[in-house]
Amino acid sequence: MAMKASAIRFSPEEKEWIQAFADMNGTTFSAQVREWTLERLEDEMDARDLLEALHEDDGERITWSQAKKDLGIEE
């Protein structure tokens, strides 16, 4: 996969802090920031999906026994 460069500005203290964390984890500054960014994006999308599912939820529930019966699973 081809990568494209993006510039993000950090204060010297922030950059030092992130670099120290990346060093501690044996990775690069760029890889650490990319990992955190993608993890946060995934978390945000999961949260949106949850809110959408809750909004669409009709509140109907069935028991485990009923689910097994509906699926033809023996008890």
- What digits encode the pLDDT tens for the residues 30-73? 999 999 999 999 999 999 999 999 999 999 999 999 999 999 99
Predicted pLDDT of residue 74: 75
Q: For residue 75, is pLDDT > 70?
A: no
Give the span between the Cα atoms of 53 and 43, in whole angstroms: 15
Write down the pTM of the prediction: 0.71
pLDDT band at 1 (very low <50, low <70, confident <90, very high): confident
Q: Which residues contact 49 (CB under 8 A, 6 or more apart)?
A: none
- Cβ contact 10:18 at 8 Å: yes
Q: For residue 19, is pLDDT > 80?
A: yes
In the chain, the amino acid numbered 13 is E
Sequence spans of domains, the chain: 25-53
